Amino acid sequence: MRGLWVFLALFVAVFGNETFEGHQVLRITPVDEAHLSLLKELSENEQLGLDFWREPVDVSLPVDVRVPFPSLQAVRAFLGYHEIHYEIMIQDLQDLLNEEQGEMLRFRGLQPRSTDDFTYASYHTPDEVKFKAVPSFRNELIRDSKSPPVFQINSFMDMLVQENPGFVSKIVIGQSYEGRPLNVLKVSHITTLTRGSFSTGAKRPGLWIDTGIHSREWVTQASGTWFAKKIVTDYGRDAELTDILNKYDIFLEIITNPDGFQFTHSSNRMWRKTRKPNPGSSCVGVDPNRNWDAGFGGAGASSSPCSETYRGPKANSEPEVKSIVDFVTSHGQIKAFVSIHSYSQMLLYPYGYTRTPCKDQAELHELAKKAVSDLSSLYNTQYRYGSIINTIYQASGGTIDWTYNQGIKYSYTFELRDTGRYGFILPANQIIPTAQETWLALMAIMKHTKNNPY
């Protein structure tokens, strides 16, 4: 038993300074508007340190909230007093995190010789980090240049480019607040490029996919690496994908929020936002999915810098958002835009900031139905689909509302597995099944875009 606790302490030392021991995730079931109002009041109490994984928005949807150990008694008393039903979804969050980091440690030091050897069924760090154990009562780890590195996603991207010259390139569309490159993989049919020379692809229509804009949603970045390899592997073998790539370039931003993603590995696994300081507040970061110029500042986003849905001081204030805005605007020929999140198992289309239906709603709804059907055909994973505001909640300043308003008809957001058993801590053994089934839905969207040019 002592050895087990030493091992768990090792996890904490390696993968983050902030621990979540005793934190519980509660699933709360409101039954009427009065319950919703009370839960919204609870969510605004910043002293409790609550982290709402699913916001209180509608009586048809459960509310998931991470409650720090010191706040458990108060929250339970509040819910009990108001006769609001809840159940414990995650008994101790740190237990799940320990299991997650244990899986990552299993592959520590493995150096793939090619992207064929990359461990797609494991979570990976964004940047190379080296550690060694130091015997002490705290079981600390320190950086050590002689210890094996954790193979990371940026190295994967570089290797994929090296293996596929003239077919895959890496474009830097900007820098994060902390100075990290915003890397986008571009996959383009070889005959359209001069070998060794890459353009932005402005003369060919493009399909965009991004993952990880919310940094703690690790299954999305992991799926993004799988998508990249799938595209390269299936070109020339899968007739539909080959035809798509013969007509369109595919742009894939795997680490859309690199500062936040790095922070989830170094300090706080549950970090969601960017890492840009907010003047006048000790709270850091902006929700990059509330920072777009589409209903910016409206309902469904917060004006409080301490909120997980803080919209920022102005639209496009975050370089991670502004870089995509500039790229999409300058490219001018993006025909489908897919932003991938987790969790809840949903496929969503505009709008989020208004109940006014988008003009292409009928077509987008039918395509979502087809995509979800294809997705569920593999593992029978059930997805809901519809407009953001009618399916999940009202949200202003969202990514795909902006892209749709820019004329990108086929604008979608995925919420990947699961529906709450693990939430953001989806076990690594579900990465590949999640990516495989999502790929079927992506193919449905890309095929429809190709077959319905505009």
What is the chain's length? 454
Cα 307 to Cα 353: distance, rounded to the nearest angstrom:
18
Cα 350 to Cα 358: distance, rounded to the nearest angstrom:
6
Strand pairing class (410-416; 384-387): unpaired
**How many CA atoms lie within 13 Å of 346's alpha carbon, on the beta-carbon side?**
20
**Burial category of 395 from C-beta neighbours within 10 Å (exposed 0-12, middle 13-18, buried 19 and up):** buried
Cα 370 to Cα 380: distance, rounded to the nearest angstrom:
14
Retrieve residue 445's tokens.
């969207």
Characterise 403 by phi-psi region: left (phi > 0), alpha (psi -120 to 50), beta (else): alpha
What distances in angstroms separate CA 320 from CA 173, 256, 309, 418, one per listed residue?
9, 7, 16, 26
Residue pair 148/111 in contact by the 8 Å Cβ criterion: yes
E strands, 131-221, where?
Answer: 132-133, 141-142, 168-175, 181-187, 206-211
Q: Give one DSSP letter per residue of 310-367, joined into a string.
A: B--SSTT-SHHHHHHHHHHHHH--EEEEEEEEESS-EEEES-SS-SSPPTTHHHHHHH
Closest CA to 127 of 185, 181, 187: 181
Q: Active site includes 308?
A: no
Retrieve residue 18's tokens.
């902030």
Residue pair 84/28 in contact by the 8 Å Cβ criterion: yes
Active-site position among 100, 320, 415, 437: 415
Q: What residues form DSSP beta bridges with 25? A: 66, 90
- Provide the annotated active-site residues: 415
